[in-house]
Amino acid sequence: MNTGLAFDLLLAAALLWSAWRALATPDIFRAVILFIVFGLLMTLAWARLDAPDIALAEAAIGAGLTGALLLDAIGVLRGRRQEKP
Amino acid sequence: MTTGLVFAVAGAILFSMGVAGVILLAHLLRRILAFNLMGSGAFLVLVGLAQRAGIADPVPQAMVLTGIVVAVAATALALALARRLHALTGAYTLPEARDD
Amino acid sequence: MTELADPVAWLILLPLFWATGAFLLGPGRGAGLAIAGTAVQCALTFVLAGELLAHGSRSHAVGGWGAPLGIDLGVDGLAAVMLLLTQMAGLPLLLFARGYFRPDDAAARHFWPLAGFLLAGLNALFLSADLFNLYVTLELVGLAAVGLVAAGGGAGQIAAALRYLFATLVGSGMYLLGVALVYGAYGTVSIAPLAPLVDAGAPAAVRIAAALMLAGLMLKTALFPFHYWLPPAHGGAPAPVSALLSALVVKASFYLILRLWLGPFAPLADAVAWLPALLGSAAILWGSWRAIRAARLKMLVAWSTVAQLGYLFLIFPLLGPDAGSGNTALQAGGMQVVAHGLAKAAMFTAAGVLIHVTGRDDVAGVAGIADRLPVTLFAFALAGVTLMGLPPSGGFLAKWLLIDAALAQGQWGLVAVIVAGGLLAAAYVFRVLRQAFMVPPQGERRHPAQHASPLLEWTAFALAAASVLLGLRGMELLRLLAVGSGT
Amino acid sequence: MKAVVLAAAAFAALLVAVMLDLPAAAVDLPAAVAANLSHSGVAHPVTAVLLNFRGYDTLLEIGVLLLALLVVLAVSPHAEEPAGAARVSVEPVLQAIARIAVPLMLLAAVYLLWAGAHRPGGAFQAGAVLAAAAVLLHLAGLLPGWHAPKLLLRAGLAGGFLVFLAAAAALLARGALLAYPPAAAGALILVIESALTVSLGLTLAGLFLFLSRDEA
């Protein structure tokens, strides 16, 4: 087994682990952080799949914008200046 | 096993996790998150399976770029609805449906 | 210069243009633009139908590349019938919406551009011959429909929209995974090059892909037991939106099921053809029962949609075994799509008028309303004639063709379900009519002393009349449906 | 609960099994893309598929994005109210970062747009970077959340889609939607991509900025 394949398997396992934790962890804030981690791991996966275009889009849109939207929805982006209703 | 196949397999598992999450979870943000996992899984299968011989294929790659934009559009729409529901009812879960 | 006026291209471009134009004009504006645009689309559809009858089905290679490198659009009889229904129901519904929404109505602020994207998505879906492109059109239709349900609504509507959203997203996600497997197996997602590649010995991945795509689309079509999201969404939205959704949107995913079933997945489909028919039968019985029991008027109409969609799925076991009666079953399906589309648009608009005038959305509230809204009640009754399948309506023709095909193949169970479904439909239609005609208004009249505008009443009537008259002009429609179907 | 998890696990196992057992594909699209790349107007295969061979997908997808923004506006009643006394907080550290990062991000967006013709990059990535810059400005307190979009902003949001639509319609004269003349394809794609970059940036930013208002 070469190092490339070992890295792929490790990355795939990390993807599945972060996805699983994002669904199962009881705290919603941690879930969103894990989801952003998942997005960054996806970026690596796309790079491994010779898809740099997708890697760029995933980092900016998948992890970045979607993560920001989710964080904003649970209020942590503005949490310091706003009480949750 | 090639890189493509490894990630296609991971995508298949991710998709299944995502579907189960959308069905089982009650918290709307978590269901939206599960939907995104589902989408990512399908994207990985699309590119990974097409590249299982190890040769890059621009066609599914372009499709996934399209899919990512559609997914973020759907996510924003879902979040807008979830936030509106939260503003109206104070909860991030769906109330019982009245269907009579 | 004829290419510049190609109706296939403009049926997609035009609604996108007017939707964007309405967005640029600003909230609440663009009604005139939308109605003018849809009127032109109606004309284009007739031109296209004429071309088809004269020259047969044709395709349009976007970008000039041709499948499998590029994306092909294709139009045959089935697609043309769907396009006709969409524009012919769409135009009256937009006129109705213009009269229905008050100027300050929150739901109306973004109705026009959303309706434009919805119609564009539907037309693009009917015309597409590429599985991935169809995914994009499915999302366009699904998200526009969810937006229309949610726009300006309270908690109940938002919750219904969310339920609908998750159903539609899971449905298209399953469809997309199916597309991914098909691309992996064959290296293309264009329908025409795929069809000869798929045979009875297709790899297991293709079978899974077919199952995923069909199941996802059944979820989007609200086939029993995936119907749970439909009644709250269709029953809770404003009347013009409910009408668009029940008449057109659920038909789009059915159309795609039929396309895949008859097209690339035909070699795999016959073995499981009984399953959709079984679910369809359950839908007819359960949907009708819930409609009979429904407390609210629009919920009754929405449950009736669940039931009527069931008929569409009865055709699948009849399509394969025998070419002659299979073709009859396909005709029955096409006729039921159009007849139900028009009748349900009529019924939801009529219900909208009743709710507008009585100020309440329950079946008990229509007591004694017949003398004040005779046209609307007549429209409701005519639409009911189509749903029950009484002659000479389009619904009668559809059920008659269906029974004909079922008898030819000795499928007595299906015949029994069709007959029972007609009786159950009579029960819920007469429940409303009895209340309106026979029951005196309780106590002093609580109805606000307002009358519906004639525009609203007569659009409902026109749609209902069309659904009945369709039975008399059915042969033309069936002739169009047959274009390019190989028979 | 258990039944759904078990069903999902069984489905995943089935899926993996059928994928591992798949013969080679019959159609070789990468070869077709390579063979036609010289007529596409761009040198980067993914951009050629995205804007030319399957440009129609992209056209509809921009429509989906605009539609999503429309729904965000339609379900957020505050979005239609004029900007009140928007509470913009001061975040000194973030502001300092933003003042350095945003000009660099603008530069990166222009680079990505230009690069897309022959290497990874293009309108989507450039637009996403623009949107990220806007979100960063917002988080730093330098850009308030958006309210009712005025005509100018609406035109900016819809402009890219309209340019794309108009190009698709005008090219009908050549016999089909989006049938670029090979000689002018590169220039047309650059025009469309430039317009799309601005609109994608505004729309993606709008998805965040219209939602991210302090709900009173």
- Average pLDDT of adjacent 10-residue blocks, chain C of 487 residues: 83 98 95 98 97 95 94 96 98 97 88 98 98 98 98 92 98 98 97 94 95 98 96 95 97 97 92 94 98 96 97 95 89 97 98 91 89 93 96 95 95 96 97 91 58 90 96 92 77
| Closest Cα in chain D to C193 | D27
Query: Would residue A38 count as lying in a domain?
Result: yes
Which chains does D contact via 3+ CB–CB distances below 8 A?
A, B, C
Question: What is the distance of C-alpha C348 from the center of its chain?
Answer: 13
- Chain A residues with CB under 8 Å of D215 CB are 85
Say yes or no: C65 contacts chain D, CB-CB below 8 A.
yes
- Chain B residues with CB under 8 Å of A4 CB are 3
Q: What's the confidence (pLDDT) of residue A75? A: 82
Contact C147 B28 (CB under 8 A): no
Residue C42 burial (CB < 10 Å; 0-12/13-18/19+)? middle
Say yes or no: B37 contacts chain A, CB-CB below 8 A.
yes
Say yes or no: C275 contacts chain B, CB-CB below 8 A.
no
Q: What's the confidence (pLDDT) of residue B99? A: 82
Decide if pLDDT at D73 tops 90. Answer: yes
Residue % of chain D over a pLDDT of 90? 75
The tens digit of pLDDT for each residue in B48-79 reads: 999 999 999 999 999 999 999 999 999 999 99
Q: What's the confidence (pLDDT) of residue C282? A: 98
Query: Would residue A42 count as lying in a domain?
Result: yes
Decide if pLDDT at A81 tops 50. Answer: no
Contact D19 B45 (CB under 8 A): yes
Contact B46 C146 (CB under 8 A): no
A63/chain D closest Cα distance in angstroms: 11
Residue % of chain D over a pLDDT of 70? 92
Do A and C make contact, counting contact as 3+ CB pairs within 8 angstroms? no
Range of the domain at A62: 3-73
Question: C52-56, D58-62, D82-86, D138-142: which has the minimum mean pLDDT?
Answer: D82-86
| Closest Cα in chain D to A56 | D125
The tens digit of pLDDT for each residue in D96-120 reads: 999 999 999 999 999 999 998 889 8
- Distances, alpha carbon A51 to alpha carbons A19, B63, B84, C24, C217, in Å: 21, 12, 37, 36, 30
Contact D208 A53 (CB under 8 A): no
Q: What's the confidence (pLDDT) of residue C485? A: 78
Beta bridge partners of C73: C60, C128
Structural domain boundaries of chain C? 1-272, 274-487
CA distance C369 to C379: 13
Instruction: Give the CATH number of domain B3-89.
Output: 1.10.287.3510
Q: What's the confidence (pLDDT) of residue A82? A: 46
Specify the number of domains making up chain A.
Answer: 1
Closest to D158 (Cβ–Cβ): which among C23, C188, C204?
C23
Structural domain boundaries of chain B? 3-89
- Is ipTM beyond 0.90? yes
- Distances, alpha carbon D25 to alpha carbons C205, C211, C244, in Å: 12, 20, 41
Closest to B9 (Cβ–Cβ): which among D4, D19, D65?
D19
Structural domain boundaries of chain D? 2-211
The tens digit of pLDDT for each residue in B29-48 reads: 999 999 999 999 999 999 99
| Closest Cα in chain B to C291 | B100
Query: Would residue A28 count as lying in a domain?
Result: yes
Contact D56 C147 (CB under 8 A): no
Mean pLDDT, rounded, of chain D = 90
- Chain B residues with CB under 8 Å of D118 CB are none
CA distance B36 to B41: 9
Say yes or no: B33 contacts chain C, CB-CB below 8 A.
no
Contact A23 B65 (CB under 8 A): no
DSSP strand pairing (C58-62 vs C71-75): antiparallel
Closest to B42 (Cβ–Cβ): which among C155, C162, C177?
C177
Decide if pLDDT at A85 tops 60. Answer: no
- Chain B residues with CB under 8 Å of D29 CB are 57, 59
State pTM to two decimals: 0.96
Contact B42, B11 (CB under 8 A): yes
Contact A60 D129 (CB under 8 A): yes
Decide if pLDDT at A80 tops 50. Answer: no
Contact C48, C11 (CB under 8 A): yes
Closest to A19 (Cβ–Cβ): which among B1, B17, B48?
B17
The kind and range of the H/E element at C62 are strand C58-62
Contact B50 C147 (CB under 8 A): no
A79/chain B closest Cα distance in angstroms: 15
The tens digit of pLDDT for each residue in D135-145 reads: 999 888 888 88
| Closest Cα in chain D to C11 | D169
Decide if pLDDT at D22 tops 90. Answer: yes
Contact C68 D55 (CB under 8 A): no
